[in-house]
């Protein structure tokens, strides 16, 4: 079985770099992009931020009233389109944009709330609205088809990619630009996450922040925030062949969506299993066919254990042939953009036939008893298919299956 949906373009603006190859290479080496931030808060803050000159896409006049979350989206979408060889071969009305964004323009809101002059920019509303990134991408690229935003917490961009693939598959669009963006590392937002007690703890000073996110480890204490954007260009195999697309990174072979419908913030293993099984069923693959899972793995006590329970249940006797890692340990949790960045890394693992190793897990929690990818471990067999999962507050679960093209 084949969906016939190919990934012909990749674009990333991430803490590790600005192209898919360099991002994957850094992650494969186990390099952490997490740093302690000089933020004037009661508790120390660790996060993974993006270092990029955005004047390539926005001059000073253009950037006025455009939040960083939208600027990152425009940059990553443009890079994806360039990687795909452009989009001039498709009618603008037949191109769709599908963007995941969990919280919108956090910097614009934070600036408005902290205004001491009593004056708030009239551009605050269009800057922070969650659909602003998609709108800016559409305006920059001249896209006139469906331009949609998915705000599904940590599953936002994974859901956006799945919905884009459905639109291509059913013929609603000829080409889809799908992914996500997030930039919310501002004091007000960080304080809210600290209040939830979900962020990793560490001792201020030195390099402790770099290793503070430890998915699946017995001493894990939570996640670290990250920012960035990542986009995929999706099109049918027939169209890619007809236009002689310069790259065929992978096939998006399946996707599965489900809802726990049990609790707003507590994950549910059965709900996650439903998404995993649905993605496998659509792809026509069996669990044994999947060699690698880029796990949601946020390094929270409950989240990691529940996800591993779901993986064990789905893979069953095929579990020993699987390898799992959560790359959030190195690039942070991009929330609304997490699924898209992790999809790019998963695709690169297929292209390069290399597994991103699990970082910072010196002692694995017995409740997280799944086979982790380890540094230096050779592939036991060619990597033909891999899966990336995103599980969100609100109970939405999304899994994407990719195959070698």
> Active-site positions?
154, 296, 333
Residues 60, 246: Cα–Cα separation, whole Å: 34
Strand 5-13 and strand 250-259: the pairing is antiparallel
Residues 192, 200: Cα–Cα separation, whole Å: 14
Helix (H) or strand (E) holding 350: helix 338-352
Could you say which DSSP state residue 41 is in? Answer: S
Residues 99, 180: Cα–Cα separation, whole Å: 5
Angle between helices 20-28 and 338-352 (to 10 degrees): 80
Structure tokens at 323: 């390898």
Structure tokens at 153: 């917490």
Structure tokens at 136: 């800016």
* 66-77 per-residue burial string, b: 16 or more CB within 10 A, e: under 16: bbbbbbbbbbbb
User: Are 222 and 376 a contacting pair, CB within 8 Å?
Assistant: no
Alpha-carbon separation of residue 343 from 203, 287, 387 (angstroms)? 32, 18, 8
Backbone angles phi and psi of 47, in degrees to 5: -160, 165
Residues 273, 260: Cα–Cα separation, whole Å: 10
Taking phi over 0 as left and psi of -120 to 50 as alpha, with beta for the rest, 106 belongs to alpha
Torsion of Cα atoms, 31 then 302 then 263 then 189, to 10°: -40
User: Are 181 and 133 a contacting pair, CB within 8 Å?
Assistant: yes
Torsion of Cα atoms, 220 then 37 then 208 then 295, to 10°: 30
Closest by alpha carbon to 135, among 83, 164, 99? 99
Beta strands in 54-94 (DSSP E): none
Backbone angles phi and psi of 149, in degrees to 5: -120, 135
């Amino acid at each position: 079985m084949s969906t016939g949906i190919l990934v012909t373009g990749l674009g990333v603006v991430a803490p590790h770099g600005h192209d898919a190859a360099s991002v994957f290479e850094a992650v494969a080496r186990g390099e952490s992009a997490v740093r302690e931030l000089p933020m004037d808060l009661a508790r120390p803050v660790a996060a993974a931020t993006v270092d990029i000159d955005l004047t390539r896409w926005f001059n000073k006049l253009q950037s006025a009233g455009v939040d960083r979350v939208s600027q990152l989206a425009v940059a990553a979408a443009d890079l994806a389109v360039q990687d795909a060889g452009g989009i001039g071969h498709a009618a603008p009305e037949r191109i769709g944009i599908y963007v995941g964004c969990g919280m919108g323009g956090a910097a614009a809101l934070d600036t408005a709330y902290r205004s001491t002059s009593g004056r708030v920019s009239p551009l605050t509303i269009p800057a922070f609205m969650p659909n602003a990134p998609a709108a800016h991408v559409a305006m920059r690229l001249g896209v006139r088809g469906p331009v949609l935003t998915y705000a599904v917490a940590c599953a936002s961009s994974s859901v956006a990619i799945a919905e884009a693939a459905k639109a291509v598959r059913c013929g609603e669009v000829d080409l889809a630009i799908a992914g996500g963006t997030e930039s919310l590392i501002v004091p007000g937002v960080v304080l809210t996450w600290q209040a939830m007690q979900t962020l990793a703890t560490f001792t201020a000073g030195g390099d402790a922040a770099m290793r503070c996110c430890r998915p699946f480890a017995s001493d894990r204490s939570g996640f670290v925030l990250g920012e960035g954007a990542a986009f995929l260009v999706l099109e049918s195999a027939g169209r890619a062949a007809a236009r002689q697309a310069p790259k065929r990174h992978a096939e998006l072979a399946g996707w599965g969506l489900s809802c726990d419908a049990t609790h707003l913030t507590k994950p549910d293993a059965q709900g996650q299993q439903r998404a995993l099984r649905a993605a496998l069923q659509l792809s026509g693959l069996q669990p044994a066919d999947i060699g690698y899972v880029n796990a949601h793995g946020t390094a929270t006590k409950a989240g990691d254990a529940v996800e591993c329970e779901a993986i064990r249940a789905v893979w069953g006797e095929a579990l020993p042939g699987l390898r799992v890692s959560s790359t959030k340990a190195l690039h942070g949790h991009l929330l609304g953009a997490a699924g898209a960045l992790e999809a790019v890394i998963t695709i690169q693992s297929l292209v390069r036939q290399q597994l991103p190793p699990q970082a910072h897990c010196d002692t694995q929690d017995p409740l997280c008893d799944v086979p982790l990818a380890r540094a230096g471990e050779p592939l036991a067999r060619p990597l033909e298919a891999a899966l990336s999962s995103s599980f969100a507050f609100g109970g939405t679960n999304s899994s994407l299956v990719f195959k070698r093209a």
